[in-house]
Structure 1
Amino acid sequence: MNENLPQSNPIPLSVLDLAPIVEGSNAGQSFQNSVELARHVEKLGYKRFWLAEHHNMTGIASSATSVVIGHIAGATTTIRVGSGGIMLPNHAPLVIAEQFGTLETLYPGRIDLGLGRAPGSDQLTAAALRRDRSSGGEHFPQQLAELRSYFHPDGTTKVRAVPGEGLNIPIWLLGSSGFSAKLSAELGLPFAFASHFSPDYTLPALELYRRQFKPSDALHQPYAMIGVNVIAADSDEEAEFLATSLQQQFLNLIRGNPGKMKPPVEDIDSLWSPYEKQIVQQQLRYTVTGSGETVKAKLQQILEETNADELIVNTSVYNHQARLRSFEILAEVWNK
C-alpha cells in the first residue's frame, strides 16, 4: 500500500464527490459533472477521487456507488478512485468483494475500498436494501472479516470471489464516532473521519486511533484522513456567497426535508432561525471558505489541530464551473 510511503510536504489532497443533483438538473448531468471534475482534479494533482453511497436522496446520484466508480475510473488514467464509502451492512460481503475485485482487475493499482457501517439513508430505506433486518451496524466487524477473507482466503472456505481473490485492494474504515477508529486501529488499517459533517468527535477519534494502532501487513503506522468542506473563490465574499448552498443543504437536513442542492442566496440569515444557524454552523465547523490564501491559512490551522496525514475535500456549490474553479484555486495555493 502506498500509504506506507513517506509523506510529501504539503500533505496530499483528495476529493470526495457526492455526485450532487442541483435544482433544475438531473442524475445524468450529475454524472457528466463528476467525470469532468475527476479529469480536472487528476490534472491538478489530487491523489484520489472517492464517491459516497447514499440512498433515497433526490439530491445525490451515487446510490450505485461501484458502478459510478467504474465510470470515473474509465474516464481517468492515474488518479485513485474509490468509495467514501460503501455501507457494508447494506450488502453481502461477497458481492462487494466481486465488485471491487472487478474494478481492481479493470483498473489495476487505482482502486480504494472505503467502508462504513451506517445505512447511508433512513431506516425504512435500509430495510428495503437489506431485507434481512438483523444485518445492522453491530455486525460490521464480522462482515468486514468475511469481506477480507474473500480477498485473502485461508483455505477453509469453499466460496471464492472471482475476480477478487488474491488482489491487494486497500481497505479503509470510515467513521463519525469512535467505533471505526478503534476497529481500524485494531486491524492496522487506514482511517478516514467524517469531520466535514460530524466535527465534534474528530479529535477524540483520531487520538483513539493513533493510541491503539497495531501495525499490520497493510499498514506499518497509523494513517488518518479527515473530511473537510472547502469552498474557494477569487474573493472571500464570493466564496461566502457560494457557501450558502451548502448551508441550505444542512438546514434542510435538520428540518427533515432533504432535496436537490439550491442556488446560493444573498441573505442566508433570512432563511434560518438563530437556533438553526447555531446547529448548522456547529455541524459545518470543518468548513473552509474564502480566497486561496484565506483557505490555505484555515486548512493549516485544521492540520495543526488534527495532524491529519491527508485531507479529503468536499466542495458543495451550485454552479459546476465554480466548483471546478474552487478545486483549481485550492491546488494552486496548496502546492506553492
Structure 2
Amino acid sequence: MTVTQEQATWFADAFGKLVGNVEQAILGKEHVIKLVVTAMLSEGHVLLEDYPGTGKTVLAKALANTLDGTSSRIQFTPDLLPSDVTGVTIYDQGKGIFEFHKGPIFASIVLADEINRASPKTQSALLEVMEEGIVTIDGTSYEAGQPFMVIATQNPIEQAGTYKLPEAQLDRFLIKTTLGYPDRQTSVNLLLDASNRARATKVQPIIASSAVITMAQLATEVHVDGSILEYVADVVAATRDDQDVALGVSMRGALALVRAVKTWAISQGRTYVTPDDVNDLAQAVLAHRIIIDPESDFAGVTAQDVVARVLVSIAPPAYRAA
C-alpha cells in the first residue's frame, strides 16, 4: 500500500510539531533533533556522543517527555549488572513460584546514560532487546513493547573507567550523532534563562504511543525507486572496498539507511525517496559502522572522511546516463 499525499502532509505536520516541542529544551539544534525523531519513527536507536555539558541527556529526556508513554533512565556505572537493566526472576515464597520483575529496559523511551561506563557484560545485555525488541530471562522471552527506543549517551573525552562499545553494539544504533556547542546567539539565550535548570521537564507530551506506531508504519510504505536502492547498495559496497577501511558497512547498515531515508522523505511531505535523502543521512547512519585501518587511523583518516569520499565518487541516480 502506497502512502498518499494527504498522509504525507499529515506526517510532515506531526513531525514538525514533535521537533518543535523538543526544541523547547534544546535550542538551536533543529537538525540533530530531526535526526533523533527520525530514528524514533524508523523504530531505531540513537547514540549521542559529545563533550560534557552539550545537552545530550536533556535531549533524551525531552524526547521521552514528548511521548505520552513510559520512559526510564539507566545510569550506567562499572558495577551495573545485566539484571539491573533487563530485570530478574525472584522466588516468591508465599506463592511458591518464580516471578519475573521487569527492569528499566521495559519502557517506550530508555535513556542509557554514559553507556560506555558499564562493563562489556552489561552492555551485551542490550544486544537482543535492541535488535529484536525481546528480553530473554531464564529461557523465557518477554517483549519490550512498542514503541521502543534506546537513546544512549557517551563522552568521547574521558577514557578512565570506560569500556569501548563493541562493533556489534554500535551496529545496532540506527543513528550516531553529536550536538556540538551552541552558536553565540543561542548561548546568550541560554544564559538569559540560566535560572531554568530543568528545561526538559517543561516539555509536555503531545503524541500518544499509538500515534508513534502509526507514523512508523506509514513511513515503511514510502516509495523507494529501484535506482535508489542500487545507489544505496553501491555506497555501502564502496565503504568495504575503500583502501583506508578495515571493516565496511554491513547489510544491517544498508537496511537501516533505507528505513531512515523513508522516514526522512515523508517528514518533508513527500511520498517518495530522492538521492538527496540518502546523502542527508549517510553520515549519521553509516559512519559509526566503519572501522578504519589502524595505519590510516594513525594518519588522521576518519569514518566521516570515508563516507564523504564515497558519496562524491558515486554518481546519484539523477545524474547517471540513461
Q: Same fold (TM over 0.5)?
A: no
Larger Rg: 2
Q: Which one scores higher on RCO, CA 8 angstroms, separation ≥ 6? A: 2
